[in-house]
Amino acid sequence: MPISSLDYVTSVVDFMIEEYTNKLQGYQTILRSRFMELVVQLSRQYEKQERRQGAQSNLMHLAEAISFMEDNYLQPISREEIAAKSNISVRHLNRIFQSYYQTTPFAYLLQLRLEHACRLLKTTNLPISEISFQSGFNDSNYFTRQFTKVFTLSPKAYRKNR
Selected residue with higher pLDDT from 77 and 8: 77
Selected residue with higher pLDDT from 31 and 132: 132
Domain limit, last residue, from 102, 134, 151: 102
Residues 118 and 97 in one domain: no
| DSSP one-letter string for 71-137 | HHTTS---HHHHHHHTTS-HHHHHHHHHHHHSS-HHHHHHHHHHHHHHHHHHH----HHHHHHHTT-
Q: Which residues form the domain of 27? A: 3-102
Domain limit, last residue, from 102, 128, 149: 102
Global pTM? 0.66
Mean pLDDT score, 136-149: 96
Residues 91 and 112 in one domain: no
Residues 24 and 63 in one domain: yes
How many structural domains comprise the chain? Answer: 2
Selected residue with higher pLDDT from 9 and 96: 96
Residues 38 and 80 in one domain: yes
**What is the pLDDT, as a whole number, of residue 4?**
61
pLDDT greater than 70 at residue 50:
no
CATH of the domain at 118: 1.10.10.60
Selected residue with higher pLDDT from 146 and 16: 146
